Amino acid sequence: MELARAKEILTVLADGVDPYTGEIFPPNSPYQQPDVIRALYMAINALAGDCGNKVQKKLPDNAGTPWTREQEEIVISCHNKGMTVKEIAAQMRRTDGSIKARLEKLGLMPG
Protein backbone atom coordinates (compact mmCIF):
# COMPACT_ATOMS: atom_id res chain seq x y z
CA MET A 1 0.00 0.00 0.00
CA GLU A 2 1.24 3.45 -0.83
CA LEU A 3 1.62 6.05 1.90
CA ALA A 4 -0.84 8.43 0.23
CA ARG A 5 -3.54 5.74 0.22
CA ALA A 6 -2.89 4.92 3.88
CA LYS A 7 -3.29 8.59 4.82
CA GLU A 8 -6.47 8.81 2.74
CA ILE A 9 -7.98 5.80 4.54
CA LEU A 10 -7.02 7.15 7.97
CA THR A 11 -8.51 10.56 7.17
CA VAL A 12 -11.82 9.07 6.05
CA LEU A 13 -11.94 6.88 9.17
CA ALA A 14 -11.21 9.92 11.35
CA ASP A 15 -14.17 11.66 9.72
CA GLY A 16 -16.36 8.75 10.81
CA VAL A 17 -16.89 7.32 7.34
CA ASP A 18 -16.29 3.79 6.03
CA PRO A 19 -13.56 4.22 3.38
CA TYR A 20 -14.97 1.42 1.24
CA THR A 21 -18.72 1.98 1.36
CA GLY A 22 -18.89 5.70 2.13
CA GLU A 23 -21.36 4.99 4.93
CA ILE A 24 -21.19 6.99 8.14
CA PHE A 25 -20.32 4.88 11.15
CA PRO A 26 -23.05 4.69 13.82
CA PRO A 27 -22.57 6.81 16.96
CA ASN A 28 -21.54 3.77 19.02
CA SER A 29 -18.77 2.84 16.57
CA PRO A 30 -15.19 3.03 17.82
CA TYR A 31 -14.51 5.41 14.92
CA GLN A 32 -16.93 7.94 16.46
CA GLN A 33 -15.17 8.00 19.84
CA PRO A 34 -13.12 11.12 20.68
CA ASP A 35 -9.93 9.29 21.69
CA VAL A 36 -9.98 7.17 18.54
CA ILE A 37 -10.53 10.23 16.35
CA ARG A 38 -7.60 12.01 18.01
CA ALA A 39 -5.41 8.91 17.64
CA LEU A 40 -6.23 8.65 13.94
CA TYR A 41 -5.33 12.30 13.38
CA MET A 42 -2.10 11.83 15.32
CA ALA A 43 -1.27 8.89 13.04
CA ILE A 44 -2.06 11.01 9.97
CA ASN A 45 0.19 13.79 11.25
CA ALA A 46 2.94 11.32 12.05
CA LEU A 47 2.77 9.93 8.53
CA ALA A 48 2.91 13.45 7.13
CA GLY A 49 6.00 14.11 9.24
CA ASP A 50 7.68 10.96 7.95
CA CYS A 51 7.20 12.26 4.42
CA GLY A 52 8.97 15.51 5.19
CA ASN A 53 5.65 17.38 5.03
CA LYS A 54 5.62 19.82 7.93
CA VAL A 55 2.07 20.97 7.33
CA GLN A 56 -0.20 19.32 9.87
CA LYS A 57 -3.96 19.24 9.72
CA LYS A 58 -5.36 21.10 12.71
CA LEU A 59 -8.52 19.62 14.12
CA PRO A 60 -11.45 21.97 14.70
CA ASP A 61 -11.73 23.19 18.30
CA ASN A 62 -14.76 21.02 19.10
CA ALA A 63 -13.57 17.85 17.34
CA GLY A 64 -14.15 14.85 19.54
CA THR A 65 -16.01 16.73 22.28
CA PRO A 66 -19.40 15.46 23.50
CA TRP A 67 -22.49 16.98 21.92
CA THR A 68 -24.86 19.11 24.00
CA ARG A 69 -28.58 19.43 23.30
CA GLU A 70 -28.01 23.13 22.51
CA GLN A 71 -25.41 22.23 19.86
CA GLU A 72 -27.78 19.69 18.34
CA GLU A 73 -30.49 22.37 18.13
CA ILE A 74 -28.05 24.68 16.31
CA VAL A 75 -27.21 21.88 13.84
CA ILE A 76 -30.92 21.25 13.25
CA SER A 77 -31.53 24.96 12.67
CA CYS A 78 -28.59 25.25 10.27
CA HIS A 79 -29.72 22.17 8.37
CA ASN A 80 -33.28 23.51 8.12
CA LYS A 81 -31.87 26.78 6.71
CA GLY A 82 -30.26 24.77 3.90
CA MET A 83 -26.64 25.11 5.03
CA THR A 84 -24.22 22.52 3.67
CA VAL A 85 -22.45 20.01 5.92
CA LYS A 86 -19.19 21.89 5.34
CA GLU A 87 -20.79 25.21 6.37
CA ILE A 88 -22.32 23.68 9.49
CA ALA A 89 -19.01 22.02 10.38
CA ALA A 90 -17.21 25.36 10.09
CA GLN A 91 -19.79 27.10 12.27
CA MET A 92 -19.80 24.33 14.88
CA ARG A 93 -16.00 23.92 14.74
CA ARG A 94 -16.34 20.18 14.13
CA THR A 95 -15.35 17.83 11.31
CA ASP A 96 -17.60 17.21 8.30
CA GLY A 97 -17.89 13.57 9.36
CA SER A 98 -19.13 14.47 12.83
CA ILE A 99 -21.81 16.74 11.36
CA LYS A 100 -22.93 14.02 8.93
CA ALA A 101 -23.07 11.50 11.78
CA ARG A 102 -25.05 13.87 14.00
CA LEU A 103 -27.52 14.71 11.22
CA GLU A 104 -27.98 10.98 10.64
CA LYS A 105 -28.51 10.36 14.35
CA LEU A 106 -31.07 13.17 14.44
CA GLY A 107 -32.92 11.61 11.49
CA LEU A 108 -32.15 14.54 9.17
CA MET A 109 -29.82 12.67 6.80
CA PRO A 110 -30.24 9.18 5.43
CA GLY A 111 -27.81 6.59 6.74
**Above 70 in pLDDT, residue 52?**
no
- Residue 29 has what DSSP assignment? S
Residue 53 binned pLDDT confidence (cut-offs 50, 70, 90): very low
Q: What residue spans define the domains of the chain?
A: 3-105
Is residue 93 within 8 Å of 62, Cβ to Cβ?
yes
Average pLDDT over residues 77-91: 95
**Above 50 in pLDDT, residue 31?**
yes
pLDDT score of 91: 94
pLDDT score of 55: 44
Quickly count helices (H) and strands (E) in the chain. Answer: 5, 0
> Burial of 36 by CB count in 10 Å (0-12 exposed, 13-18 middle, 19+ buried)?
middle
pLDDT score of 47: 81
